[in-house]
Amino acid sequence: MKVNGARVLITGAGSGIGKLMALQAQRRGAEVIAWDRDATALATLDGMQTAVVDVTDREAVYAQAAATGDIDVLILNAGVISGRRFLDLPDEAIERTMDVNVLALFWCTKAFLPAMVRRDRGHIVTIASLVGATPVPGLTDYVASKHAAYGFAETLRTELADDAPGVRTTVVLPQQIATGMFAGATSPWYFPELKPDYAAKAVIDAVERDRQRLLLNRPALLTAYLVRPLPPAVSDRISRWAGAFDGMAGFNGRSIIKNGSSAPQG
């Protein structure tokens, strides 16, 4: 679907890859609707419709969607990270991660998909992650949420193939993107950090080319899927050798955990 003239709604559009995708779509002639919880961040987006929305608040999502009207492209980008090992995760942080990274996918999609199905036209993009294909110590809740995001997107794709074949989907599987979210974390050699502008352009390109799955680093994904089926003793040894299990040791990025407690973001 060409985005020129299309109404494109992006969640988590106030900063990072979300903001860059919004700018990329705008440059291609899209009418961009930007959602974020941060009103100050949204104020930096010139020439776009903006709305302060907490995507974990189901009723707020439905109300704002009704006010927005029909859209052509929905990019499910909002996401959070804790960056702590499992036993160091406050319950509230686990809940927040699942609310933003998983349940919000359902609320936002339910809000806009029925109209797309009636028109048999639209596109839904889910920003998942390559870590949904491989374990990463220090990211238990995040990895679990991205497994769920991938499953959500792929299953929705198969349902829409029967119910509304004109509504397309794309699931995006990036590795670490240099937006500051994962600051201090390191990646193994086969997971090189992605440049944000490259990733944003690739996502909008994928929409215009109706790509069902976007792999931003094919060698990395191939490695993940070659290693994962091996016996755990073997795959763990390979991952440790490559440095995949130590990458979060120096993490000082945008964690939802502040001063030992969970601070809501989104």
pLDDT digits (tens, 9 = 90+) for 161-195: 999 999 999 999 887 675 756 666 667 666 677 88
Strands (DSSP E) contained in 95-215 are 122-127, 167-173, 213-215
Q: How much is the pLDDT for 194?
A: 80
DSSP 226-237: HHTTS-HHHHHH
Superfamily of domain 7-215+231-262: NAD(P)-binding Rossmann-like Domain (3.40.50.720)
Task: Respond yes or no: is residue 142 known to be catalytic.
Answer: yes
Encode 63-95: b = buried (16+ Cβ within 10 Å), e = exposed.
Answer: ebbeebeebbbbbbbbbbbbbbeeeebeeebbe
Q: How much is the pLDDT for 174?
A: 81
pLDDT higher at 241 or 260: 241
Which of 62, 142, 198, 225 does the annotation list as catalytic?
A: 142
pLDDT exceeds 50 at position 260: no
Confidence band for 209, pLDDT divided at 50, 70 and 90: very high
Rounded distance, CA 256 to CA 266, Å? 9
pTM above 0.95, yes or no: no
Candidates 162, 125, 105, 108; CA nearest to 1 is: 125
Per the DSSP assignment, residues forming a β-bridge with 36 are 52
pLDDT digits (tens, 9 = 90+) for 31-73: 999 999 999 999 999 999 999 999 999 999 999 999 999 999 9
pLDDT digits (tens, 9 = 90+) for 102-149: 999 999 999 999 999 999 999 999 999 887 777 888 899 999 999 999
Rounded distance, CA 140 to CA 189, Å? 22
